[in-house]
């Protein structure tokens, strides 16, 4: 039972994750210079994040449109989101980056949203119907 028919919650959580990833990636690409100064974050970090978010957002959007999903693919998405949250927290706690107050709000805010999406995806996966493929 490695495939599931995604529940509406899982489908919507993947869709929201994909759309937020694409829009955030575009924001980071188009506003990298301004955001780097405003948030006191390295421009290279913002651009690297965008290069991760844009294709990942596209993949998540595509996944949200599939009639069936491999359970491990969904677990990979949940795991990547969890790693993103952990990395965001560690980067602040260990001083890898030293943003201003707005930068802290930005990083913590996006980490909270990503953690919420991972949790919704987990609940959505639990509600999904297993398929005999």
Q: What is the pLDDT of residues 88-97, one digit of tens each?
A: 999 999 999 9
Q: Domain limits at 24?
A: 3-131
Q: What is the pTM of this model?
A: 0.93
Residue 114, CB half-sphere, CA atoms under 13 Å: how many?
23
Asked if residues 83 and 111 have their Cβ atoms less than 8 Å apart, the reply is no
pLDDT higher than threshold 80 for residue 132: no
N-to-C CA span, the chain: 7
| Three-class secondary structure of residue 65 per DSSP | coil
Helices (H) and strands (E) in the chain, counts: 5, 3
Provide the domain count of the chain: 1
Asked if residues 13 and 5 have their Cβ atoms less than 8 Å apart, the reply is no
Name beta bridge partners: 5: 129
The mean per-residue pLDDT over the stretch 51-77 comes to: 97
pLDDT higher than threshold 80 for residue 11: yes
């Amino acid at each position: 039972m490695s495939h599931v028919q995604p529940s509406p919650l899982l489908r919507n959580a993947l869709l929201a994750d994909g759309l937020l990833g694409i829009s955030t990636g575009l924001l980071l690409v188009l506003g990298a210079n301004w955001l780097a100064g405003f948030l006191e974050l390295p421009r290279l970090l913002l651009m690297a994040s965008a290069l991760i978010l844009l294709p990942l957002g596209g993949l998540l959007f595509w996944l949200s449109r599939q009639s069936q999903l491999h359970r491990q693919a969904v677990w990979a998405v949940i795991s990547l989101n969890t790693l993103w949250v952990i990395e965001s927290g560690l980067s602040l706690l260990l001083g890898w980056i030293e943003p201003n107050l707005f930068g802290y709000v930005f990083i913590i805010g996006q980490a909270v949203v990503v953690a919420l999406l991972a949790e919704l995806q987990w609940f959505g996966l639990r509600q999904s119907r297993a398929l005999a493929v």
